């Protein structure tokens, strides 16, 4: 097991550079290859990622899998242009040829210069441990079996249990002609439980999951792992009673925590720097405008301890930070990587992220959430004459240009005269990003963050993220059911 006091930079050099005999002079030469004219920044991104997963079905752990990916991504940025190449061999010749290929983007011009490297300030939001080594393999198997047994014992209507755990350790080292020389060691674990229940011929399923940047031990403390199974059974049993969802515009109350996927889709993507620099976002050019009611303050915060979306530094070596996006309803900031920050003349915000060495970085969210407001959650539900209360979601999508977004409710209830009624079947909610927060009339005092399962996709790249919010009342949103409104 890696010592949790390990210095990330030393470990990264040891794992990424030393096996190939790469010295500082090689890195300088590779960056120099790209600086032949017009190039603002040249960058090398070394990465090794180890991933494992264990999965259980039919009461048995059927398989363990392990994968390792290693490589270097090489990028040259000249104004709005990007040249990019990568190699899955970390060796000197491959590094040199990739850097020449990436550098081909540059126009003829002045010779650039590599600045002296200095280490970025270090945040320690998670230990530099290897989750895969944090628990013996037999104990991982035993944990899954325990979850299976407890989940089945919970209710006789449980027909099937599928459970899995995954662990990742990612070691990255970034060095650039801007003087960045920084490393990060990122653990990430996750546990998922899915159940199928049957009652009187009707079948339903539900999924739960949790995780973050820590060791597997997290799931061993208290009854966290068993609670996931219990929660999956509860959700599936609720679905057995569900009636068709209504169709049409109505008041929607969103529960705390994971329903924050609303903010991620409706607001978050539209506030990423690249879309705003290019003017392709519905939020472009709207800094300073009132885009939400004054109850709404929304932040993107990469600095939360141990959270799935947290990062000590982003994939360009910029320390992550807490960026206020909307303050009391007013749009105050975008999320930036270094290229878009430079082009827009604003500071980078530590949001430059990439799926791996084989992908180019771009502005991405970390943990995006709304701060708590003044209202009691019960008071919010009691205020609704007729509408729905949605507290679990299966994901969403946005068209950043038109601002239209969707998210799919997996657990929701009718509200009738201020009281929760029957659960409703899966329904997609659809709305308009720039106007939806202007319809938020009540904000709960019960901020929660999600359990640590978010995956965000953009341009074919996936990264782990977090979301959160307090209970919210939205005065009007379209609910896509099949029943009568």
Partner 1 sequence: MSDMARRDLSALKATASSALEVARKLGATQAEVSTSRGAGLSVTARMRDVETLEYHRDQGMSVTVYFGQQKGSASTSDLDAAAVEESVAKACALARYAAKDPFAGLAAPERLAAGVPDLDLYHPWDVEPAQAIELALACEAAGLDFDPRINNSEGATVSTHEGVRVYGNSHGFLAGYPSSQHSLSCAVLASADGPMERDFEYSVARHADDLLAPELIGAEAARRATRRLGARKLDTATVPVLYPARLARSLFGHLIGAISGGNLYRKASFLTDAMDKKIFADTISIIEQPHIPRALSSAPFDDEGVATVDRTLIEDGHLRGYVLGSYYARKLGLESTANAGGIHNLVVSNTGEDFDQLLVDLDRGLLVTELMGQGVNTLTGDYSRGAAGFWVEQGEIQFPVSEITVAGNLSDMYQQIRAVGTDVDRRGGIRTGSVLVDGMTVAGN
Question: Which parts of 464-483 interact with partner 1 (CB under 8 A)?
Answer: 478-482
Q: What are the angstrom distances between the C-alpha of 227 and each of 116, 137, 194, 208, 212?
A: 51, 22, 12, 10, 16
Q: How many residues of this chain interact with partner 1, rule: CB under 8 A?
A: 78
Q: Which of 432, 438, 445, 461 binds partner 1 (CB under 8 A)?
A: 432
Q: Per-residue x/- marks for partner 1, 70-89, CB under 8 A?
A: xx--------xxxxxxxxxx
Helix (H, G, I), strand (E, B) or coil at 362: strand
Looking at 428, 438, 445, 461, which residue binds partner 1 (CB under 8 A)?
428
Of 179-187, 241-249, 334-342, 366-374, the window that binds partner 1 (rule: CB under 8 A) is 241-249
Please state the closest distance from residue 289 (CB atom) to partner 1, in A.
15
Q: Taking CB under 8 A as the rule, which mask of x and - marks residues 182-221 in contact with partner 1?
A: --------------x-x----xxx----------------
d(CA 90, CA 27) in angstroms, rounded, equals: 12
**C-alpha 411: how far from chain center:** 21
Q: Which of positions 260-279 make contact with partner 1 (CB under 8 A)?
A: 278-279
367, with CB counted inside 10 A (0-12, 13-18, 19+), is buried
- Smallest CA-to-CA distance from 132 within 312, 309, 8, 2 is with 2
For partner 1, which is the closer residue by CB, 16 or 125? 16
The minimum distance between CB 97 and partner 1, in angstroms, equals 9
Judged by beta carbon, residue 146 or residue 478, the one nearer partner 1 is 478
Rounded Cα gap, residues 382 and 402, in angstroms: 33
Region from 69-77, 118-126, 325-333, 346-354 binding partner 1, contact rule CB under 8 A: 69-77
| Interacting residue with partner 1 among 361, 431, 444, 470 (CB under 8 A) | 431
Instruction: Determine how many CB atoms are found less than 10 A away from the CB of residue 67.
Output: 10
> Applying CB under 8 A, does 30 fall inside the site for partner 1?
no
- By rule CB under 8 A, what string of x and - marks binding of each residue 279-308 to partner 1? xx-x--------------------------
Smallest separation, CB 260 to partner 1 (Å): 16
Helix, strand, coil distribution of the chain in percent, nearest 5: 25, 40, 35
**3, 24, 63, 289: residue in contact with partner 1 (rule CB under 8 A):** 63
CB closer to partner 1 out of 86 and 126: 86
- Which DSSP string corresponds to 75-129? EEEETTEEEEEEESS-SHHHHHHHHHHHHTTPPS--B--PPPPBPPP---SS---
Least gap, CB of 71 to partner 1 (angstroms): 7
CA 313-314-316 angle, to 5 degrees, is: 110
Nearer to partner 1, 63 or 378 (CB): 63
**105: contact with partner 1 by CB under 8 A:** yes
Report strand pairing: 461-469 vs 386-398: unpaired
Q: Which is nearer to partner 1, 24 or 80 (CB)?
A: 80
DSSP string of 200-228? TTEEEEEEEEEEESS-THHHHSTTHHHHH
Each residue of 181-217: b (16+ CB within 10 Å) or e? Answer: bbbbbbbbbbbbbbbbbeeeeeebbbbbbbbbbbbbe
Stretch that binds partner 1, among 33-41, 122-130, 404-412, 440-448 (CB under 8 A): 404-412
CB of 281 to partner 1, least distance (A): 9
Stretch 159-178 residues interacting with partner 1 (CB under 8 A): 159-160, 162
Residues 342-381 that bind partner 1 (CB under 8 A): 358, 360
Q: Does 426 bind partner 1 (CB under 8 A)?
A: yes
Helix, strand, or coil (residue 424):
strand
Least distance CB 395 / partner 1 (angstroms): 6
Per CB under 8 A, contacts with partner 1 among 121-160 are 137-138, 140-141, 159-160
């Amino acid at each position: 097991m890696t010592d949790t006091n390990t210095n990330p930079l030393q470990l990264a050099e040891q794992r990424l550079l030393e096996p190939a005999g790469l010295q500082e002079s090689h890195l300088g030469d590779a960056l120099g290859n790209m600086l032949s004219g017009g190039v603002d920044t040249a960058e090398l991104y070394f990465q090794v990622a180890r991933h494992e997963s264990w999965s259980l079905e039919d009461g048995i752990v059927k398989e363990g899998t392990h994968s390792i990916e290693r490589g270097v991504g090489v990028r040259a940025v000249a104004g709005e242009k990007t040249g990019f190449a990568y190699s899955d061999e970390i060796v000197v010749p491959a590094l040199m040829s990739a850097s020449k290929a990436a550098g081909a983007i540059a126009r003829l011009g002045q010779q650039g210069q590599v600045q002296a490297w200095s280490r970025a300030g270090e945040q320690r939001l998670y230990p530099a441990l290897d989750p895969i080594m944090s628990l013996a393999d037999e104990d991982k198997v035993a944990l899954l079996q325990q979850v299976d047994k407890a989940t089945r014992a919970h209710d006789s209507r449980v027909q099937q249990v599928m459970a899995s755990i995954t662990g990742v350790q990612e070691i990255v080292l970034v060095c650039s002609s801007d003087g960045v020389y920084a490393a990060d060691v990122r653990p990430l674990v996750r546990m998922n439980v899915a159940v199928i229940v049957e009652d009187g011929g009707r079948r339903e399923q539900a999924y739960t999951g949790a995780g973050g940047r820590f060791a597997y031990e997290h799931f061993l403390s208290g009854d966290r792992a068993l609670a996931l199974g219990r929660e999956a059974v509860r959700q599936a049993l609720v679905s057995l009673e569900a009636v068709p969802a209504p169709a049409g515009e109505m008041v929607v109350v969103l529960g705390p925590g994971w329903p924050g996927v609303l903010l991620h889709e409706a607001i978050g993507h539209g506030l990423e720097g690249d879309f705003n620099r290019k003017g392709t976002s519905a939020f472009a050019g709207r800094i300073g405008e009132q885009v939400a009611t004054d109850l709404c303050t929304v932040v993107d915060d990469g600095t939360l301890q141990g959270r799935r979306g947290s990062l000590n530094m982003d994939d360009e070596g910029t320390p992550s930070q807490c960026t206020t996006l909307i303050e009391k309803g007013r749009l105050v900031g975008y999320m930036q990587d270094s290229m878009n920050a430079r082009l827009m003349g604003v500071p980078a915000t530590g949001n430059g992220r990439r799926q791996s060495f084989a992908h180019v970085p771009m502005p991405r969210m970390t943990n995006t959430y709304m701060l708590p407001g003044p209202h009691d959650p019960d008071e919010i539900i009691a205020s609704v004459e007729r509408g729905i209360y949605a507290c679990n979601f299966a994901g969403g999508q946005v068209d950043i240009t038109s601002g239209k977004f969707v998210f799919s409710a997996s657990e929701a209830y009718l509200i009738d005269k201020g009281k929760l009624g029957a659960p409703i079947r899966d329904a997609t909610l659809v709305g308009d990003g720039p106007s939806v927060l202007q319809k938020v009339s009540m904000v709960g005092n019960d901020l929660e963050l999600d359990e640590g399962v978010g995956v965000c996709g953009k341009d074919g790249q996936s990264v782990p993220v977090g979301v959160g919010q307090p209970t919210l009342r939205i005065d009007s949103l379209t609910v896509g059911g099949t029943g009568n409104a």
